[in-house]
Amino acid sequence: MRRRKHVTLEDIAEKLKVSRVTVSKALRGHSDISDETKKEVRRIAKILGYSPNYMARNLSSRRSNMLGVVVPKLAHFFFGSMLEAVYNTAFENNYETILTVSQENAERERKHLETLISMRVDGIIISISQETKDTGIFQWVKKMGVPLVFVDRRPEPALPGFSTVLIDDEAGTRNAVEHAIKIGYREMGFIGGGNPWNNIGKNRLLGFMNALKSHGIAIQKEWVVSGGFGTKDGFEGFMRLHTNGTMPEFVFAATYPVALGIYQAVKELGMKIPDDIDIMCFGDSDLSHLLTPSLSCVNQPTLEIGTAAVQTILDLIRNPDKEKEHHLVIPTTLLLRDTCSTVARARREERKTIVTPMGPSA
Amino acid sequence: MRRRKHVTLEDIAEKLKVSRVTVSKALRGHSDISDETKKEVRRIAKILGYSPNYMARNLSSRRSNMLGVVVPKLAHFFFGSMLEAVYNTAFENNYETILTVSQENAERERKHLETLISMRVDGIIISISQETKDTGIFQWVKKMGVPLVFVDRRPEPALPGFSTVLIDDEAGTRNAVEHAIKIGYREMGFIGGGNPWNNIGKNRLLGFMNALKSHGIAIQKEWVVSGGFGTKDGFEGFMRLHTNGTMPEFVFAATYPVALGIYQAVKELGMKIPDDIDIMCFGDSDLSHLLTPSLSCVNQPTLEIGTAAVQTILDLIRNPDKEKEHHLVIPTTLLLRDTCSTVARARREERKTIVTPMGPSA
DNA sequence: TTGAAAGCGCTAACAA
DNA sequence: TTGTTAGCGCTTTCAA
């Protein structure tokens, strides 16, 4: 057995009594070479079981046809779904995707970026971790001459010189909360997010506050629980809210996992959605509609985001001269299901008149 | 700005008036070099912003420290979760993970394998697509001298010469179905899977049939609906079952997505789980317990599988001489929740005596 | 402890 | 249309 001894261009060239260069060009379909030679070269390559060595090709051509991607989490609907679009779009454009996962850890994120640069990826798409504050690493990437696009999450405030593909977090949240106000809720809470050093943490909270402000509703500080973006954060956030004493009628969850955590907490506390607490969140999932009650949310078009991110980075790679920034803001839509519906609200009102002054969860 | 002009070993060497080799060794912590020189080299490297070129390193050293991974789907809990373990374990062992996604498409899977070989990954971990039948590509990978491990899904029958990390599909399914029998169900259906060219399709159905056989229950062919492993397959499978006429009391779903599709179909048909139809499935998810009713299932330890897969491939990479096959079979556990509980069964029985002969869905 | 020579497999620029 | 020359940036002998 021929172990770690791969067929090379040389082997094919020898067999055909031509030069390596001819073989190289023929294999890549270069117009220099006659169709006849191409055919012959391909035939022999196939027979010999030739597999081009991308490491050598990339080293020599000084480009890799690889896209580096950094995401905070993998086992989340939003990222899984977005990544599927990234992979597909990259594949269609003959790019390989190198995916790395920071696990919401800034240090790990930094290491991954260094690795991607060492792999000489042609461009980087990143959604930063929830704890990333230091932006020096991104400046370093820029200095290395590798274009980088922030998708969904970027540092706050915005880094000049970097392109972004973002979601309209403020408007999406505002619309959702205004809907809740419209159907009659006045005691409003917010869980997850709220960290000022990244856009989604800041802007989703901002949207929440703007909605309240424009309707003359006071913001109750004890009903705004800042924190991470995970299921655990949602669970703990709701528990904290509950321990605090008074509860709002409605909470907005900064992310879908946060909402899941809240569902869990509510279940554990023996409470009921939407009777005891109503809820909406930012981000959909393939099974929000199977939850009971089915979860209304701000829908982020995951496929569109992933596709746009790849298109943006490809444009940056192909036109390296223009120092132009691309800024795409993708609008969201409100997805209304069982939670936060007029029915839910009505039932709640009705119930309010029946229960004792001890409150529903007593 | 220094564009596409990276700092090289040469640059560091020049500055320090030593040779490239010394720098190379120093940077890698080779014992040849004095601590003093090492320190100096590292200092200058940092100042200059040196980033090692992995393409060059890999080409020269003839190993890449990269693991290739092929999975059928990304936005599924099982794969997302397993991959998180793969990434983590690889990372801890200083390996980079190159992930590709076949989208359950055999042709795409083949292309990805060719790409991974061209990238000269040191080893490959693969979970084959639901339509993969031709195993020639795996033999080719073997011939190229790259070790390959099948994880979760492999071709059926087993390919000699390849290592596997599998789940005990037959026993897992059998135990689950036997539980359903124990609590009183006799009219049993099966949806999804059943394709004889891959292990999970074959063995989950086998487990189902074995459970029925050992309890003297006849298999109703019209209640066994073969098909793919996706949500859509579950939905359509259940619809087909429903159109056929008579319905079983219980169905086993070959995968978690299939079960989701069934939940959806049941909802759309205005039926109730577990009153009209009870259900269990193979595979858990982070929100099975939040469904209503919460879904009982055969739990696959995703983290363990991902970790074991990486450990297996690393062993194969590090000990290339032994032609030994590794075969790991990971046991499952039964996760009992609301569906398929004695309570559910009792309620159903009770209901049966009330409803008219037209049946519950009439 | 250091370095010189050779080469990994390929491509780009330029000649022929 | 084909081939020659000269690297890409690094590591691996093996000699000093």
In sequence order, what DSSP letters do the residues of A280-339 get, joined into one string? EEE---TTGGGBSSPPPEEEP-HHHHHHHHHHHHHHHHH--S--PPPEEEE--EEE--ST
State, as a whole number of angstroms, the distance between the CA of B236 and the C1' of C2: 71
Minimal Cβ distance to B75: which of A52, A62, A84? A84
Instruction: Determine the topology of domain B63-167+302-330 in CATH.
Output: Rossmann fold (3.40.50)
What number does CATH give the domain B169-300+335-351?
Answer: 3.40.50.2300
Helix, coil or strand: residue A171: helix
In this prediction, residues B127-135 reach a mean pLDDT of 96
Query: How many angstroms separate the Cα of A44 from the Cα of each of A22, B140, B279?
Result: 13, 17, 56
- What pLDDT sits at residue A110? 97
pLDDT digit string, tens, across residues A315-330? 999 998 767 899 999 9
CA–CA gap between residue B137 and residue B109 (Å, rounded): 9
Which residues from A are below 8 Å from B72, CB to CB? none
- How does residue B357 score in pLDDT terms, banded at 50, 70 and 90? very low
| Parallel/antiparallel/unpaired status of strands A333-335 and A297-299 | antiparallel
Picking from B46, B55, B73 by the largest number of A CB atoms within 10 A of its own CB, the best residue to mutate is: B55
Q: Does residue B12 register a pLDDT over 70?
A: yes
* CATH 1.10.260.40 residue ranges for chain A: 9-52
Q: Is the pLDDT of residue A3 over 50?
A: no
Q: How do residues B235-273 score in pLDDT, each as one tens digit? A: 999 999 999 889 999 999 999 999 999 999 999 999 999
Residue nearest to nucleotide D13 (CA to C1'): B21
For the record, the structure tokens of B10 come out as: 């040469």
Asked if the Cβ–Cβ distance from B59 to A62 is below 8 Å, we say: no
Which fold, B9-52?
Answer: 434 Repressor (Amino-terminal Domain) (1.10.260)
Q: What is the three-class DSSP state of B213? A: helix
Q: Which residue of B has its CA nearest to A268?
A: B290
**Chain C footprint bases within 7 A of protein beta carbons:** 1-5, 7-13
Condensed to tens digits (0 to 9), the pLDDT of residues B182-216 reads 999 999 999 998 889 999 999 999 999 999 999 99
Distance A305 CA to D10 C1' (A): 38
Q: How confident is the model at residue A4 (pLDDT cuts 50, 70, 90)?
A: very low
Res A343: pLDDT = 82
Q: Identify the weakest region by mean pLDDT among A21-25, A202-206, B167-171.
A: A21-25
What does the pLDDT read at residue B4?
39
In this predicted structure, what is the pLDDT of residue B50? 93
pLDDT: which is higher, B346 or B59: B59
Please tell me the predicted confidence (pLDDT) of residue B250.
Answer: 97
Q: How confident is the model at residue A361 (pLDDT cuts 50, 70, 90)?
A: very low
Please check whether residue A161 is in contact with residue A323, taking contact to mean a CB–CB distance below 8 angstroms. yes
Lowest mean pLDDT segment, chosen from A349-358, B16-25, B54-63, B184-193: A349-358
Closest residue (CA to C1') to nucleotide C5 in the complex: B21
What percentage of chain B exceeds 90 in pLDDT? 81
CB contacts, 8 Å: B6 with chain A? 144
Amino acid B30 CA to nucleotide C5 C1' distance, rounded Å: 20
Q: What angle do CA A80, A81, A87 make, to 5 degrees?
A: 85
- A119 and B290 within 8 Å at the Cβ level: the answer is no
Residue intervals of chain B classified under CATH 3.40.50.2300 are 63-167+302-330, 169-300+335-351
| Span A210-224, pLDDT tens digits | 999 999 999 999 999
Would you state the pLDDT for residue A357? 44
B358: confidence class by pLDDT, cuts 50, 70, 90: very low
Is there a contact between A59 and B54 if contact means CB atoms under 8 Å apart? Answer: no
Query: Residue B46: pLDDT above 50?
Result: yes
- Predicted local distance difference test score (pLDDT) of residue B352: 65
* Per-residue pLDDT at A193: 86
A118–B3 C-beta distance less than 8 A = no
A vs B, Cβ pairs < 8 A, gives: 134
> What number is the average pLDDT over the span A267-290?
93
Taking CA atoms, B137 is separated from A351, B118, B134, in Å, by 64, 14, 7
Residues of A in contact with B288 (CB under 8 A): none
Q: For strand C, is any atom closer than 7 Å to the CB of A19?
A: no
Contact by Cβ (8 Å): B257, B229: yes
From the list A55, A76, A96, the residue facing B59 with the nearest CB is A55
Mean residue pLDDT across chain A: 91
Q: Which window residues (31-90, chain A) lie with Cβ within 7 Å of strand D?
A: 31-34, 37, 56, 59-60, 62
